[in-house]
Structures are given as structure tokens and as C-alpha cells.
Amino acid sequence: MHASDSLKTILSRLSTIVMNGIADGSCLHHLNYLLEFLAAWEKRPAYLTLMAYQWCSAISEAARRPSPNKISTSLPDPLQRILQYRLRLRPQGRFPITTESGFSQVRSCRDPVRLDPTSNLTNGHPQHVTPPIYPYLLSITLEIGFRHITSSCHQPALHLNHTSHHEWVLETAFSSDDDEVIADAVCVWIVGGDSSPPGSCARHLARRMESGTPFSPRLQQASIRAIQHIWPNELKVAGLDTVRWLNRLNVNVGDMVDQERWARLLVGVIHFPTGPESLSSRYWCLLDKLVVASKLVLPLEQRDAEVMRSLAADRARD
């Protein structure tokens, strides 16, 4: 058997056991180590994206589960390990800048639920862990599934099974102060664009932009690619938010992979009821450039075309 086939078999079985582990709440501190290993694997296979998204779903389910008794497990100081793991993300080091004492003792993972004397108090529910662990697990899982998706590489579309967990994933990811995690969440739209619930992307990104912090380069690129994939549905559901988001993105001609698609996108904004007023002047000029460069025949009204040309002329004079 070929090595890659073996690896796929192992990963698929491992994915099942990870899902079960997340669902019953046991061995989460073991999963940390596994997920960190997978995240450190730079050339991980593409099929890991689907698995990672399923894990996101399981994490969401586990995190939203009602807890009759808040009982925390004896996790090995997760905050310290999170900080330690974060250091690995710094670009200056090829290898993780962590100490050798990264591992706590790994014991049989099924034991905590069965052997914990307090587990009877949980009335059959699995024991619950300290809250920060789930966002942390989600951030690593998103990294495993979507970190390798960049603006330059061509990513084949996947059918991601979006359920109610998607909103929790977005909420959690966008509440992070790490742009890389947000960019991973945005990449979910890039990979499974059509199947994603409309409106949520624009809403969250617009909120993120209102914070005033500039986007990281990767988040900027991911947002531009996401617009191309989900634009029509987003505009219908969250029109004004979408235009605001677009205005803040400052897209250049160089960022546009498919210029014709972008031209039609901008025309769609102009046709939107409040679009002509909301769209910033730089996009009018950009549309003019695209029309001139690609000699497209766009369904623009006479008035809109005149506005476009005049704004472009004003900008050229300035």
C-alpha cells in the first residue's frame, strides 16, 4: 500500500476518534497535543480540511452543551501552554520556540471520565472543562484546516457541511484578537463558499473593521478572495454591511485575480438601492479602469457611467 493511502486511512480513523473524544469531553488535554502536531505539519494533505471542519463542529457542540455542574478537570495549566504554543506562530523561528517541558504526562485518555470520583455528580454528563480550552482548540483546528489556504494558491471548492455550529465558530474566531485566526475563519467561505450561510461573513468583518485596527496582510487577502466567492448572497442579505466592508478593504487592481468578475461585482453594488451613494469614489475609479482595460460592456445606466467617468477624471487631476 502506498504511504499516502496508509496516511489517509490512519487520519480518517483518527478523525473519528477525535470527534468522539471532543463529543464526550474526555481527553481534551490530549487532543491539544495532537492538534498542535497537526498544525505544525506544514505540508499537510488537503483532505484534512474537511476533517478539521468536522472537528470544529464537534467542538462547537461540546462548548454549547448545557452544564448542570461546572466541574473543571485538572488540565495541565492550559493558559501557559497556549502562550507557549503562540510563540510557535511567530514567523522568525522555523522550529517552535518552546521549552522541552511542553508535555505534561499523557495517560490513558478514557480514564478521567470513568475514574473521576466526581463524575457521578454530573448526572451522566461528561465532565466539563475550563472555558478557555474550547476557543483554543477551535483556533488550532481552524489552523489545521485552513491556514494553508492563501491568496496565491488555487484551492478546489469543497462542500463543507455548515450547521448551527457555524455561527458559534464565527463568533469565537472573530472574538479573538489574532488576525490569523480570523483569517482562518474567513477561509471557510473561500473553500466552501456557496454552501455557507449568507450574510454572516460581511456582518462579522464589518464589525471587525469598526474596531479600527488595520487588517493583517493575510486577513486582507483572505477577505478579498472571500468577496469574490460569496458576493451575490451577501449583498442580498447584508447589503449595507457588505458595501461598508468593501469600502474599508481598499482593493487594488493587483489584488483582483478575476477582473471581469470584480467589474460585475461593482456594477451589482451600483444597482443596489443605496449602492451608488455608499460605494466609495475609489471603487468608481477602479471600475472605470477595469472597463477601459478589459473593454467590457457592462449594464451601466447612462447616469452611472457619467458619474464613473467624472470621478475618475477628478481623481486623475488630483
- Interface residues with other proteins (CB under 8 A) are 1, 3-4, 6-7, 9-11, 13-14, 17-18, 21, 27, 30-31, 33-34, 36-38, 40-43, 88, 94-96, 98-103, 105-110
Q: CB 15 → other proteins: shortest distance, Å?
A: 10
302: three-class secondary structure by DSSP: helix
Pick 32 or 220: Cβ nearer other proteins: 32
Q: Are 73 and 26 in contact (CB under 8 A)?
A: no
Tell me whether residue 113 or residue 256 sits nearer to other proteins (CB atom).
113
Query: CB 143 → other proteins: shortest distance, Å?
Result: 12
C-beta of 10 vs 293, nearer to other proteins: 10
- Chain length of the chain: 318
Nearer Cβ to other proteins (41/232):
41
Nearest approach in angstroms of CB 141 to other proteins is 15
Q: How far is the CB of 253 from other proteins (least distance, A)?
A: 36
Q: Whole-number minimum distance, CB 61 to other proteins, in Å?
A: 18
Angle between helices 48-64 and 165-174 (to 10 degrees): 90
CB 62 within 8 A of CB 134: yes
Q: Is 172 helix (H, G, I), strand (E, B) or coil?
A: helix
User: How many other C-beta atoms are found inside a 10 Å radius of the C-beta of residue 65?
Assistant: 12
C-alpha cell at 103: 508535555
Using CA atoms, how far apart are residues 187 and 181, in angstroms rounded to an integer? 10
- Considering beta carbons, is residue 97 or 157 the nearer one to other proteins? 97
- Cα separation, 165 vs 63, whole angstroms: 10
In the chain, the amino acid numbered 66 is P
